[in-house]
Chain A
């Protein structure tokens, strides 16, 4: 019985191959209606599921709002001071955008160093990653903002005033430097993994037509690696947006600093910090949406 069955399938497969070999236009499938019906059912099931998940979100949101009301939440205070907090959003965005750009460059250099056979490049990148991943961001911020000027003063005493001045950075510059160095260290490993995920055959094909290592990296490996690591970079970008809150310790007038200031004025902590939190939240939602759009764009070459 089993054998007959097998023969039957083999026979059908042969027939299928023969049909495929005739390249003419395929005739209409008599069972097309059934296929359409199945598709419609699947689509309906998907829609219902999406609606259900949406409903859960709405319920959670309502519950949260009710809880806030019970906790003596003062919406009037939020409305009055929303603009003041909102103005910090642009500073936050600037910090995050500049820092992710610089961090990506550092991460690329770090990854090339990690993958290099040059002992100096290998040593520097390994040391960099270990140092900046191994210490808290907050301490890095303090060291750059408060520690570096100390070195600058020493250099001025030693007779290099111009060099010394370069060690005194504004709060904004310090924030960008700290965030870039810290995230660059984490992202080095992302870039390294992305580069290594491209098959060795790609490298061989490139060098076989005479490309140098640098050309191979720039023209063949990186364009493919970037597509793979875009979701991870997006993830880091979102994490960084929230870590910009830590630079408020230097008195940069970004979201958290502004919210904190008003919260303390009249002890309206819930009102102000919830306002800031919602603004961060919205920012990350927009970023996630942008990231998915970029991802889809880069997938173009890989769609059948």
Chain B
């Protein structure tokens, strides 16, 4: 194992093409355990694609990804073993912009679905775990309702509980508050803060600069498929090294009270 054990995620020279569109143009970075890393950038900069490459929702075109000791090499003509991909997905939990709860299942069924289908637990084992994580996101009393009866914020909190219940090594958040009404964003960010303080390793793609500033250990700014700047929030918000970072953040300062 030549990868550094100090890091829980290592990405080396990642590229992604969609047809002739070169979306990610060679990105490398590492994440330490318990680190909260926020990824910022304009829409279309490739930040969501980067996140989705980590658990192979998008197959990277070339490059190496290593998460929790499992590394995968990709490249033209390289067929990645499906069981390796499943391992990678089991070490990551993902929260989507559109929640993607299973509408035909109740809240508790949503949360324990992975435990039962993937981890092959029986119901008696899975339910207490599910309830524990519903408690964590403050929605235990909603365990038997269907998602249609929840608000957007509640849906996203259930989605977070569903990801946490699999007890992944890393949590990936793909714009978790972008589909929410403004008054519901706070409750989701609060849950995310709590998870961060509990010591989870988190990768968060977001436009919530307040969250980035207060909670993150490190921020990566991505522009046109490349990492432009990588540093602690004080540097990014206080004294950005790159002109492009400053230009991106400038108009946001007024709206988000930075």
Which A residues lie at the B interface, using CB under 8 A?
A: 17, 199, 201-202, 204-212, 215, 219-220, 223-224, 227, 301-304
Contacts of B11 in A (CB 8 A): none
> Among A201, A215, A224, which residue has its beta carbon within 8 angstroms of that of B100?
A201
Chain B 102-117 per-residue mask, 1 if CB under 8 angstroms from chain A, else 0:
1111100000011001
- For A220, the closest partner residue in chain B by CB is B102
Q: Which residue of A lies closest to B85 (CB)?
A: A207
Identify the closest chain A residue to B165 (Cβ): A209
| Nearest CB in chain B: distance from A239 CB, A | 28
Asked if residues A304 and B102 are in contact (CB atoms below 8 Å), the reply is no
Cβ–Cβ contact A210 & B148, under 8 A:
no
Judge if B192 is at the interface, Cβ distance under 8 Å.
Answer: no
4 A-B pairs besides A205-B102, A208-B57 with CB distance below 8 A are A204-B100, A207-B57, A219-B113, A302-B103
**Which of B57, B100, B149 has the most chain A CB within a 10 Å cutoff?**
B100
8 Å CB contact of B118 from A199, A205, A215, A304: A215
Contact code string B72-96 (vs A, CB < 8 Å = 1, else 0): 0000000000100010011011101
A64–B82 CA distance with the chains assembled, in angstroms: 66
- Asked whether, in the complex, the Cβ of A227 is within 8 Å of the Cβ of B55, the reply is no
B162 at the interface (CB under 8 A from A): yes
Sample (15) of A-B pairs whose CB atoms are under 8 Å apart: A199-B100, A201-B98, A208-B55, A208-B57, A208-B89, A209-B163, A210-B90, A210-B118, A220-B102, A224-B103, A224-B104, A227-B104, A302-B146, A302-B148, A304-B148
Report B172 CB to chain A, min CB distance, Å: 8
Distance in angstroms from A296 CB to nearest chain B CB is 15
Q: Which interface residue of A17, A205, A211 has the most chain B CB atoms within 10 A?
A: A205
* Complex CA–CA separation, A199 to B102 (angstroms): 11
Which listed residue (A17, A202, A210, A303) contacts B89, Cβ 8 A?
Answer: A210
Contact across chains for B101 and A211 when beta carbons are under 8 A apart: no
Interface size class of B (residues with CB under 8 A): 20 to 34
Residues of B contacting A304 with CB < 8 Å? 148-149
Query: Which are the 10 A-B pairs with shortest beta-carbon distances?
Result: A209-B114, A205-B100, A201-B100, A208-B94, A210-B118, A301-B146, A210-B90, A210-B89, A223-B104, A301-B104
Complex Cα distance, B110 from A219, in Å, reads 11
Q: Does B36 contact A (CB under 8 A)?
A: no
The answer to whether A210 touches B113 (Cβ under 8 A) is no
Among B98, B113, B149, the residue within 8 A (CB) of A209 is B113
Cα A169 to Cα B249 with chains together (Å): 76
Chain B residue at minimal CB-CB distance from A222:
B104
Instruction: Report the separation of the CA atoms of residues A210 and B102 in the bound assembly, to the nearest whole angstrom.
Output: 15
Give the docked Cα–Cα distance between A86 and B195 (Å): 69
User: What residues of chain B lie closer than 8 Å to A204, measured between beta carbons?
Assistant: 57, 96, 100
Within the complex, the shortest CB–CB distance from A212 to chain B, in Å, comes to 7
B170 adjacent to chain A (CB < 8 Å): no
Quick one: closest A residue to B172, CB to CB? A208
Give, as a whole number of angstroms, the nearest-CB distance from B143 to chain A: 15
Q: Are the C-beta atoms of A211 and B103 separated by less than 8 Å?
A: no
B166 at the interface (CB under 8 A from A): yes
Q: Which residues from B are CB-within-8-Å of A215?
A: 117-118
B162 A210 Cβ-Cβ under 8 A: no
Contact A219 B148 (CB under 8 A): no
Complex Cα distance A301/B101, Å?
13
Indicate whether A211 sits within 8 Å of B146 (C-beta atoms), given known contacts A205-B100, A301-B103: no
